[in-house]
């Protein structure tokens, strides 16, 4: 029997009936992302809902790892976790919505490139200061919001918390990575 993941400290629970989905936001390696609005919030704010369905232990571990990382991070350059729904065989993570990723970013404006670099490096420094190795930094995992200079690091499924994994990262006295 599959277990329901426990609700992390500081993360609110929500129910699928709390939101209405109005668009597909994309696919990831382990889950799909929908654009949603919460029914009880009048502001009309739009959120991203990352859905993980898992049928095996590995997929469950990836989903659990991403949730574990997101719940502990709070930085302007890291995508935030706003809520969680957990049921046997699935979890859904409610996150702030970002419009696009950096895969199509083609600017040659040096000032803009410098701003982007500073934001990404600031996010990476924050992760390092919190003993987190992302392990999957690429343009698709650097999200942006149209009309702003907001850049956020996303997709923590492959990440490692060095504090929690210190003894597991060595194999015969050689670092695994």
The domain locations on the chain are 12-164
- The model scores a pTM over 0.85: no
Q: Strand order of the sheet with strand 46-53?
A: 12-13, 81-87, 90-96, 46-53, 32-38, 19-27
pLDDT at 70: 82
Q: Which residues of the chain have pLDDT under 50?
A: 1-5
Q: Does the domain spanning 12-164 belong to CATH 1.10.510.10?
A: yes
Question: Alpha carbon 147 to chain centroid distance?
Answer: 21
Is there a catalytic annotation at residue 136? yes
pLDDT at 85: 85
- Residue of 45, 136, 149, 155 with catalytic role: 136
| Model confidence pLDDT, tens digit, residues 77-113 | 999 888 888 888 888 888 889 989 999 888 888 999 9
């Amino acid at each position: 029997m599959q277990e329901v993941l426990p609700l992390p400290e500081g993360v609110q629970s929500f129910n699928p009936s709390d939101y209405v989905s109005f668009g597909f936001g994309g696919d990831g390696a382990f889950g799909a992302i929908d654009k949603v609005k919460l029914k009880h919030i009048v502001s009309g704010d739009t959120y991203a809902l990352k859905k993980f369905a898992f049928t095996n232990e590995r997929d469950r571990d990836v989903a659990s790892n991403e949730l574990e990382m997101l719940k502990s991070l709070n930085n302007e350059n890291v995508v935030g976790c706003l809520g969680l729904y957990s049921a046997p065989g699935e979890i859904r993570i409610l996150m702030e919505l970002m419009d696009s990723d950096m895969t199509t970013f083609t600017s040659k404006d040096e000032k803009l490139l410098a701003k982007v670099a500073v934001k990404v490096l600031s996010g990476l420094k924050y992760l390092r200061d919190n003993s987190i190795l992302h392990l999957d930094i690429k343009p698709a995992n650097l999200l942006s919001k149209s009309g702003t200079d907001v850049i956020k690091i996303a997709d923590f499924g492959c990440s490692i918390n060095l504090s929690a994994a210190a003894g597991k990262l060595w194999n015969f006295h050689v670092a695994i990575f």
